[in-house]
Amino acid sequence: MTRLSAAGFPEAEVRARAREGARRAFPPLDEYGTTLLGGRGSAPVGGDPFDALRIVPPIFTPRRLEKLIELAREPLPSDVDLAVSIGGFRSSCPVYVSAFGSTRAAGDGLGAAVARQAGRLGLPLVIGENIVPVTGYGRLRRQDEASMLLDRIRAYAEDLPAGLGGVVVQQSTEDADAEVWNLVYSDPNVQSLADSGRLGFELKLGQGAKPGLGGMTVVDRATQARLGDAYAFDDLFATGSERVMRSGSPGTFTAEILRNQIRFMRNNYPRSRIWVKMPPVRDIREAAEVARTAGADAVTVDGGEGGSGWAPTAFIENVGLPLGECLVRVAWPSNPATTLLASGRMWEGTRAVKAFAMGAGAVGLGRAALLAADECGDAGLVRLVECLTFEMRLLISALGKYDVSQLDREDLWSAQPTGTEPAAATVATDGAGVG
């Protein structure tokens, strides 16, 4: 198998965490007692609003006092409760595995390795688009066929703890043509998940890597011939190349179409949770509000830093809002019935805790999950999440809080304003926090 790489992503650090687990949250042990550590100064101005945010603990911690009284001792970071509900599923921590679909990077068993470890951890798992149109569903298969959607579901369920986690199957326009949700919902292999309330479907409106575009997959000529006229193909590569690009549509939506689609999902799949994935677009506030009020169990905001598949280079750095700006614009209400999910360059505790303070109920691991499983197919993702949750507990307890839901924008500060719309929240420059 070709070893994965991740351009513009802290690959080496993610792989180190996949090997070492929680101890990687600290400097190397051989530096203890010989290296003097201190802050490196403020983050550079510009870019993602997350870059300018700092987590700011207080002196006065009334919630710590409440915890002290409850425990009859001083609270420790280990007392932070990370168990949450994510889009209708119980999870061991505020983390889920975000969608990656038919991308070749998830092939050769890597997608199944991620699924297996996510199940062992009790984390919700989103299975991405285009798997069925490209490689098939997997109910009937030959030994030599590529990894299919059902392979990931089975791997996930192998060691799934009772009452935790859930599988969410994403659907794009091409998946809808292939009736992916109908295949899953009617499959006897999936009934135990549905019966236990651990099956969901995610309507994909777009993705961070290429907002405004549909899925793009490089396939061979044999696959092109098998798919026939059902999909669009582009001969972009060298003359005589055995590979072509299959392009999909992002779909056409208005507010009413989105409401009707969620109503359709609720009526036709009553035992499944309903998730909606949003790209980092300028009307993210309106779209997220439509999905929330229509009854979605979760709304995923995929920032412009997200993406694990094939995308045009022009889009990667120049199209779509950064995740921090998306969260500012969404401005989710307190204690919503719908979980706001955040994905895009998630792999360590500080970015996750900032997202929680800005209203997210959980964060998604995409590239980081693939890299961790690529580093160690048996336990890389487990160790990465171990380090991530260890940092979460340290940071949340430093704020004098002991539950993710207690985090708020008062816990953040930046000298730089966030939000470009008049109605968007801004960050104060006098230490008052995020207003």
Residue 343 backbone dihedrals phi, psi, to 5 degrees: -135, 155
Contact 79, 401 (CB under 8 A): no
Same domain membership, residue 220 and residue 354: no
d(CA 105, CA 135): 14
Average pLDDT, the chain: 84
Q: What is the mean pLDDT of residues 259-270?
A: 95
- How confident is residue 433, by pLDDT bands cut at 50, 70 and 90? very low
What is the number of structural domains in the chain? Answer: 2
- What one-letter code names the amino acid at 231? Y
Q: What is the mean pLDDT of residues 348-372?
A: 95
Residue 421 is predicted with a pLDDT of 41
Q: Does residue 21 belong to any structural domain of this protein?
A: no
d(CA 220, CA 214): 19
| DSSP-derived 3-state class of residue 238 | coil
Q: Does residue 414 belong to any structural domain of this protein?
A: no
Q: What is the mean pLDDT of residues 293-297?
A: 96
Q: Does residue 86 belong to any structural domain of this protein?
A: yes
Whether pLDDT at 327 is above 80? yes
Of 10-14, 167-171, 229-233, minimum mean pLDDT range: 229-233
Closest CA to 272 of 43, 87, 28, 50: 87
Of 86-95, 100-109, 342-351, 389-398, minimum mean pLDDT range: 100-109
More confident residue, 57 or 130: 57
More confident residue, 320 or 421: 320
Same domain membership, residue 272 and residue 236: no
Same domain membership, residue 286 and residue 228: no
pLDDT per residue as tens digits for the range 82-139: 999 999 999 999 999 998 765 666 666 788 999 999 999 999 999 987 677 666 776 6
Residue 41 is predicted with a pLDDT of 53
More confident residue, 39 or 335: 335
Query: Which pair of structure tokens corresponds to residue 423?
Result: 């109605």
d(CA 354, CA 154): 34
Distances 329 to 205, 340, 353, 425 between C-alpha atoms, Å: 18, 13, 18, 7
Q: Does residue 401 belong to any structural domain of this protein?
A: yes
Residues spanned by the domain of 340: 78-211+253-407
- For the ranges 188-192, 232-236, 422-426, the maximum mean pLDDT occurs at 188-192
More confident residue, 158 or 175: 158
DSSP for 75-131, written as a single string: --GGG-B--EEETTEEESSSEEEPP--S-GGGTTTHHHHHHHHHHHHT--EEE-TTH
d(CA 341, CA 359): 9
Same domain membership, residue 124 and residue 182: yes
Of 155-159, 276-280, 331-335, 400-404, minimum mean pLDDT range: 331-335
Whether pLDDT at 377 is above 80? yes
Residue 427 is predicted with a pLDDT of 40
pLDDT per residue as tens digits for the range 203-255: 999 888 778 777 777 777 877 777 766 677 777 777 778 887 777 777 889 99
Same domain membership, residue 304 and residue 165: yes
Same domain membership, residue 157 and residue 87: yes
Here the contacts of 138-147 (C-beta below 8 Å, separation 24 or greater) are 139/183, 139/187, 139/189, 146/107, 147/106, 147/107, 147/108, 147/109, 147/111, 147/112
| DSSP-derived 3-state class of residue 234 | strand
Q: What is the mean pLDDT of residues 23-42?
A: 77
Contact 413, 54 (CB under 8 A): yes
Q: Does residue 302 belong to any structural domain of this protein?
A: yes
Closest CA to 354 of 404, 309, 421: 404
Whether pLDDT at 418 is above 60? no
DSSP 251: -
Same domain membership, residue 198 and residue 223: no
Burial of 421 from C-beta contacts in 10 A (0-12 / 13-18 / 19+): exposed
Same domain membership, residue 358 and residue 295: yes
Residue 425 is predicted with a pLDDT of 39
Q: Does residue 3 belong to any structural domain of this protein?
A: no
Distances 203 to 2, 88, 110, 145 between C-alpha atoms, Å: 31, 16, 24, 27
Contact 372, 55 (CB under 8 A): no
Q: Does residue 164 belong to any structural domain of this protein?
A: yes
Residue 5 is predicted with a pLDDT of 74
Same domain membership, residue 129 and residue 236: no
Query: Could you tell me the CATH number of the domain that includes residue 126?
Result: 3.20.20.70
Same domain membership, residue 224 and residue 140: no
Contact 360, 84 (CB under 8 A): no
Same domain membership, residue 156 and residue 136: yes
Number of neighbouring beta carbons within 10 Å of residue 44: 9
Same domain membership, residue 232 and residue 207: no
Q: Does residue 384 belong to any structural domain of this protein?
A: yes
